Structure 1
Amino acid sequence: MQFLAAFPTRIYLTGFMGCGKSTIGPLLARRLGYTFLDLDALIVQQAGCSIPEIFAAGGEAAFRTLERKALRQTAMMDAYVIATGGGTLVSDDNLAWALRNGRVVYLQVSVDELVRRLAPRAAGRPLLQDRYGRPLRGAALRRRIATLLARRVPWYQRAHHVVAADGLSIAETVEAVLHALRTYRDSRNERR
């Protein structure tokens, strides 16, 4: 199904790690006839090393610099669904840029659901590790997720669309995002 004329050129998926951006993104792109891009994968490709290696070598600041550069590169991409990292749009500069250059969709997921999804994968997530590089578990993991999410929510909620994904299947989440985008498309058509 081809929506190129009716939908935004670039769709940025945002939300906390584990909210489903990299799972929903390819399915959404397929439904729209768009190409999918995982911004973290682009960063890894360009850096020539993994995200944990980037964090180990230069810390979060080095990663955020690479992330900002990769985000700006998407301005040249048409008909793309772009999964941003959980912290990509948690800056006024990056968020304002994404809001101007595409449609931003926040996949909203509760702390409890994020803990459930992220607990098995905390070892590969530098922000979910203690200062010794060990994955957080149990109450410590929940506290870290709750704290990070609370800091990020003010940026996430400035997205063009907020899609509450708790309790939705993958297919239902894709449909909810499509519905939000159709609402945008329909309101644009009414103004013409």
Structure 2
Amino acid sequence: MQWQAAFPTRIYLTGFMGCGKSTIGPLLARRLGYTFLDLDALIVRQAGRSIPEIFAEGGEAAFRALERDALRRTAALDAYVIATGGGALVSDDNLAWALRNGRVVYLQVSADELARRLAPEAAGRPLLQDRHRRPLQGAALRRRIAAMLARREPWYRRAHHVVATDGLSVEETVEAVLHALRTYRASRNERR
């Protein structure tokens, strides 16, 4: 395919945990003829520890430092779709870097839908646990997600593209992202 000449070299998927980055990313990469990379999986491989272990041993700050380094290493990649962690681009420094080094797509999902998706996974997600490392449930889980989403939304919304995914199937979400990227490609071609 000639996608690579028409589309950005690196596409960064961002959004809250559970928004579908790791599900949409491989499908989008396949459609574009790109390679998929999950930034969290890269961090786990390089650290030799799971994300909950990294959080338990060094806290969120230690994880964010590893995440920042892993993000910077993606600059050497060509024709990649990269799923970032939910907090990876929630800093001016990381977001500005990603905006300069690729196209950033925000997969937007409501707090209610995120709570539904994440309820079965809360035990494995350190940020969705109470101070005793017990998974949040029900209304407490929804409140935590809504609060975190409200804090992160200003960064997410600065992405090149915002794709609202509530009510969309996985394939419809992939198509919506492709549509956003085609719009970018068309506007880029018009400027030439």
Task: State TM-score, norm by structure 2.
Answer: 0.99
Structure 2 match to 1:58 = 58
Alpha-carbon distance, 1:121 to partner: 0.4
User: Structure 1 CA distance, aligned partners of 2:43 and 2:97?
Assistant: 18
Alpha-carbon distance, 1:26 to partner: 0.1
Structure 2 match to 1:113 = 113
User: Structure 2 CA distance, aligned partners of 1:189 and 1:20?
Assistant: 30
Superposition map of 1:107-186 within 5 A: 107-186=107-186
User: Structure 2 CA distance, aligned partners of 1:161 and 1:125?
Assistant: 27
User: Structure 2 CA distance, aligned partners of 1:2 and 1:124?
Assistant: 40
Structure 1 match to 2:77 = 77
**For structure 1, which runs of at least 5 residues remain unmatched after alignment?**
none
Identity %: 87
Alpha-carbon distance, 1:2 to partner: 4.1
Structure 2 match to 1:191 = 191
Superposition map of 1:15-30 within 5 A: 15-30=15-30
Q: Secondary structure at the match of 1:22?
A: helix
Structure 2 match to 1:45 = 45
Letter in structure 1 aligned against 2:162: V
Letter in structure 1 aligned against 2:167: G
User: Structure 1 CA distance, aligned partners of 2:174 and 2:142?
Assistant: 27
1:132-180 deviation digits (Å, cap 9, x = unpaired): 1100001110110000000000000000000000000000000000000
**For structure 2, which runs of at least 5 residues remain unmatched after alignment?**
none
- What CA RMSD, in Å, does the superposition of the two structures yield over aligned residues? 0.5
Structure 2 match to 1:86 = 86
User: Structure 1 CA distance, aligned partners of 2:2 and 2:113?
Assistant: 33
User: Structure 1 CA distance, aligned partners of 2:8 and 2:107?
Assistant: 18
